Chain A
């Protein structure tokens, strides 16, 4: 009888143990329930039965389907997107997609196609995108013409196409994108181009074709959204060929691995005979660059001279009054003034990033650019002990400034007083030297976004962010705070309009309960990658409906009193915390399961304690703590049993005593 009593006790104690459930994986990965599936790299020879009939987006690349025909996809009548990349398809038979009326994208990249039937693409009501990249096509007649009336993009790259002439009955009226990259096109004739007459706003890509000649007049009075002739040796052939055409954007850049001929003013003369808004000449070399080099650039609105080995732009370029955007990234300037900015008085957007040498900021080099709105000077090793009034002189309309990834900048109070209209300022990864109590951003009343991540700030300076009355988004990632805590009075207090705050990777141990008290409008708080514990959540008790990221911290438990604060938020990420899955944390675990729809990163939110549950996902944990009904029943039975035993033994003892009197 006694061992049995022990069993009862054990049963009571073990009822507080736990269970974990694991779910079995499907073959294809579900990305969106009943709609989006990825079945790539599975060596499948047919559509698996596990895929629901309602599948709309199917990535089926790198499987094995030598033949596709009308029975292959019968069941999937809701398909909209079908990717059959590299499925070793040889044959596309009649009416393969006859039941897929919603289908708008078919990707057949990398299949060794032998034949496609005339009616191969029949079925879809509005087939818009077709990719036939690297399918061995040498002749455009290979593509069946039926049911392609709605086609908007056709990708024919990496084939053996030598003539772009489409068959007469090929429907081109809706075509917007036509991609012939890496083919064998040497010559473009008038006849070729006339076959594309019906298309409007077309973007044509001839990158990686060695075009030797264009028939004069082939592009005459035609207009394009974009034309790309990347990697071409002789630009004058292209520019002459484009005579009397109209193009929004013309890409004439070259590459590291392409042969290059120096650009001379004579080669660029063709530009005078055509209308173009935006040109890219990346990676070319200019021979003897002078103001005449740009003689035919007068109508241009955008010019991209990325990595063109420039040491300076010539002074006295005339007639480039229309230029709005200039890109001079990855060049060899020593000093900012060498761009001779005065030649581009209408410029609104200037980018000089990733200069190959240390760039000297100079003084007032951009002062003639009164209309400048956007300036990118990132990745330039710029160093300045007193920034930026002198350097950014007379930029009254500047709205966007990027000085990230530079060498140390010393900022005084009102450092940006020359650009009072700034809305967006990026100083990430640039060491800022600011002496307390200076307020470098003082006059930036319109500033909305400020990125100060990894700026090695002195965060004890209470006035650092003074004056930023309209700031919505502040990134302080990777900065450190005194004693590793954010105290009641801190530099964030003036930011009454703040909505988005990032304090991730700041090495924080704690946040005072009232640290964010003045920040009543926040909707997104990122505190990930710190060493915060559950108590810090108290600092958010006055906020509602926010996105809260607490991933990768030191949260073991969350006190029951703070669960209310969590409940009033929209989305919470608690992944990668050493969470406690014992009864001491039962309130939080119960709350967690009840609020799973608010949780981000559930798969990475796991227990760290007790050791038996380490690595178990929190939503799988089943704890029953305290004494359950069954437990109480067993306990009563056990106590009853002891009482009866006691009564009997007393009785027995008394009787024994009597008998021996």
Chain B
């Protein structure tokens, strides 16, 4: 019997995620009347902080955000992938370059691994109307080596 327990323990340690396996806590981006936005970091190594200056279903263009994160990779090149789902089916996928060698759009482009970044400023988004419903959004920031810089699982509830 003891042998079996030891064996199961061994299997458990082999298949369970390396360091802790605990998930990062969910955070609120904003909650305002008929719009709620939550996110959770899906980078197993670290959490990050994020907020938006306004929260409304009529999303303004050129929103201001605040972002605080420790870089685990150089971001000479930085790309954003967004995947939008509702009720388990995919609605929208797109990829957008944020920092490129020949066009560093933001002042933080080119910062190095290990630097702590605080960005408070515009993100140059188009304005649009959020339709009623519940949405899941997967956001991933990665560099030219496809190494993850940040990853977020977000939920948008619009009523």
Same complex? yes
A190 contacts the other chain (Cβ, under 8 Å)? no
**Smallest CB-CB separation from B124: which chain A residue?**
A256
The answer to whether B114 and A230 touch across the interface, beta carbons within 8 angstroms, is: no
**Smallest CB-CB separation from A231: which chain B residue?**
B107
**Smallest CB-CB separation from B72: which chain A residue?**
A62
Whole-angstrom CA separation of A207 from B106 in the bound complex = 11
Chain A residues within 8 Å of B53, by CB: none
A329 contacts the other chain (Cβ, under 8 Å)? yes
Chain B residues within 8 Å of A207, by CB: 107, 110
Whole-angstrom CA separation of A138 from B152 in the bound complex = 35
Q: Most chain-B Cβ atoms within 10 A of its Cβ — which of A86, A231, A253?
A: A86
Chain A residues within 8 Å of B115, by CB: 109-110, 133-134, 157-158
The answer to whether A134 and B102 touch across the interface, beta carbons within 8 angstroms, is: no
The answer to whether B116 and A134 touch across the interface, beta carbons within 8 angstroms, is: yes
Chain B residues within 8 Å of A62, by CB: 72, 114
Q: Chain B nearest CB: distance from A45 CB in Å?
A: 15
Cβ 8 A contact of B111, one of A131, A158, A258:
A158
The answer to whether B45 and A258 touch across the interface, beta carbons within 8 angstroms, is: no
The answer to whether B45 and A85 touch across the interface, beta carbons within 8 angstroms, is: no
Cβ 8 A contact of A131, one of B112, B119, B124:
B112
A257 and B106 in contact, given A85-B114, A131-B112, A134-B114 (Cβ under 8 angstroms): yes
Chain A residues within 8 Å of B104, by CB: 230, 253, 255, 282
B9 contacts the other chain (Cβ, under 8 Å)? no
Chain B residues within 8 Å of A181, by CB: 110-111
Q: Chain A nearest CB: distance from B40 CB in Å?
A: 20
Chain B residues within 8 Å of A258, by CB: 107
A476 contacts the other chain (Cβ, under 8 Å)? no
The answer to whether B119 and A257 touch across the interface, beta carbons within 8 angstroms, is: yes
A440 contacts the other chain (Cβ, under 8 Å)? no
A133 and B112 in contact, given A41-B45, A255-B107, A257-B107 (Cβ under 8 angstroms): yes
B113 contacts the other chain (Cβ, under 8 Å)? yes
Whole-angstrom CA separation of A131 from B137 in the bound complex = 37
A61 contacts the other chain (Cβ, under 8 Å)? yes
A330 contacts the other chain (Cβ, under 8 Å)? yes
The answer to whether A86 and B70 touch across the interface, beta carbons within 8 angstroms, is: yes
Whole-angstrom CA separation of A181 from B109 in the bound complex = 11
What 1/0 mask marks residues of chain B from 78 to 109 whose CB sits below 8 Å from any chain A CB? 00000000000000000000000011111101
Q: Chain B nearest CB: distance from A20 CB in Å?
A: 14
The answer to whether A255 and B116 touch across the interface, beta carbons within 8 angstroms, is: no
Q: Chain B nearest CB: distance from A210 CB in Å?
A: 11
What 1/0 mask marks residues of chain B from 120 to 144 whose CB sits below 8 Å from any chain A CB? 0111100000000000000000000
Cβ 8 A contact of B70, one of A110, A182, A327:
A110
Whole-angstrom CA separation of A651 from B143 in the bound complex = 86
A307 contacts the other chain (Cβ, under 8 Å)? yes
**Smallest CB-CB separation from A208: which chain B residue?**
B107
Q: Chain A nearest CB: distance from B111 CB in Å?
A: 7
The answer to whether A256 and B114 touch across the interface, beta carbons within 8 angstroms, is: no
Chain A residues within 8 Å of B112, by CB: 109, 131, 133, 155, 157
In the complex, which residues 54-98 of chain A have their Cβ closer than 8 Å to any Cβ of chain B?
Answer: 61-62, 85-86
Q: Most chain-B Cβ atoms within 10 A of its Cβ — which of A41, A43, A85, A257?
A: A257
Chain B residues within 8 Å of A327, by CB: 102
A256 and B106 in contact, given A86-B70, A157-B111 (Cβ under 8 angstroms): yes
A399 contacts the other chain (Cβ, under 8 Å)? no
The answer to whether B105 and A256 touch across the interface, beta carbons within 8 angstroms, is: yes
Chain A residues within 8 Å of B72, by CB: 62
A306 contacts the other chain (Cβ, under 8 Å)? yes
Cβ 8 A contact of A109, one of B113, B119, B122:
B113
Chain A residues within 8 Å of B122, by CB: 256-257
Whole-angstrom CA separation of A330 from B104 in the bound complex = 12
Chain A residues within 8 Å of B110, by CB: 181, 207
The answer to whether B103 and A330 touch across the interface, beta carbons within 8 angstroms, is: yes
Q: Chain A nearest CB: distance from B149 CB in Å?
A: 14
Chain A residues within 8 Å of B109, by CB: 255
The answer to whether A307 and B106 touch across the interface, beta carbons within 8 angstroms, is: no
Whole-angstrom CA separation of A257 from B106 in the bound complex = 6
The answer to whether B106 and A109 touch across the interface, beta carbons within 8 angstroms, is: no
The answer to whether B111 and A306 touch across the interface, beta carbons within 8 angstroms, is: no
Chain B residues within 8 Å of A256, by CB: 105-107, 121-124
In the complex, which residues 202-252 of chain A have their Cβ closer than 8 Å to any Cβ of chain B?
Answer: 207-208, 230-231
Q: Most chain-B Cβ atoms within 10 A of its Cβ — which of A43, A134, A155, A253?
A: A134
In the complex, which residues 20-41 of chain B have their Cβ closer than 8 Å to any Cβ of chain A?
Answer: none
The answer to whether A255 and B106 touch across the interface, beta carbons within 8 angstroms, is: yes
Q: Chain B nearest CB: distance from A283 CB in Å?
A: 8
Q: Most chain-A Cβ atoms within 10 A of its Cβ — which of B45, B104, B105, B106?
A: B104
Cβ 8 A contact of A329, one of B45, B103, B124:
B103
A329 and B102 in contact, given A61-B113, A257-B121 (Cβ under 8 angstroms): yes
Cβ 8 A contact of B114, one of A133, A282, A306, A330:
A133
The answer to whether B102 and A306 touch across the interface, beta carbons within 8 angstroms, is: yes
Q: Chain A nearest CB: distance from B147 CB in Å?
A: 11
Q: Chain B nearest CB: distance from A88 CB in Å?
A: 11
**Smallest CB-CB separation from B105: which chain A residue?**
A256
Chain A residues within 8 Å of B114, by CB: 61-62, 85-86, 107, 109-110, 133-134
Cβ 8 A contact of A255, one of B45, B70, B105, B111:
B105
**Smallest CB-CB separation from B104: which chain A residue?**
A255
Q: Chain B nearest CB: distance from A428 CB in Å?
A: 16
In the complex, which residues 290-328 of chain A have their Cβ closer than 8 Å to any Cβ of chain B?
Answer: 304, 306-307, 327
Chain A residues within 8 Å of B106, by CB: 255-257
Chain A residues within 8 Å of B107, by CB: 207-208, 230-231, 255-258
Q: Chain B nearest CB: distance from A279 CB in Å?
A: 14
Q: Chain B nearest CB: distance from A332 CB in Å?
A: 15
Whole-angstrom CA separation of A329 from B105 in the bound complex = 13
Q: Chain B nearest CB: distance from A374 CB in Å?
A: 14
**Smallest CB-CB separation from B109: which chain A residue?**
A255
Whole-angstrom CA separation of A599 from B114 in the bound complex = 36
**Smallest CB-CB separation from A306: which chain B residue?**
B103
Whole-angstrom CA separation of A306 from B105 in the bound complex = 10
A110 and B119 in contact, given A62-B72, A157-B111 (Cβ under 8 angstroms): no
Whole-angstrom CA separation of A330 from B114 in the bound complex = 31
Whole-angstrom CA separation of A110 from B105 in the bound complex = 24
Whole-angstrom CA separation of A181 from B111 in the bound complex = 9
**Smallest CB-CB separation from A251: which chain B residue?**
B104
What 1/0 mask marks residues of chain A from 103 to 145 whose CB sits below 8 Å from any chain B CB? 0000101100000000000000000000101100000000000
Apart from A43-B19, A257-B121, 14 more pairs, CB < 8 Å: A41-B19, A41-B45, A61-B113, A86-B114, A109-B113, A133-B114, A158-B115, A181-B110, A181-B111, A182-B111, A230-B104, A255-B109, A256-B107, A329-B103
- In order of increasing CB-CB distance, the 3 nearest A-B pairs are A85-B114, A110-B114, A257-B121
26 contacts between A and B (CB under 8 A): A41-B19, A62-B114, A85-B114, A86-B114, A109-B112, A131-B112, A133-B115, A134-B114, A157-B111, A157-B112, A157-B115, A158-B111, A158-B115, A181-B110, A182-B111, A207-B107, A207-B110, A208-B107, A256-B106, A256-B121, A256-B122, A257-B121, A258-B107, A283-B105, A329-B102, A330-B103
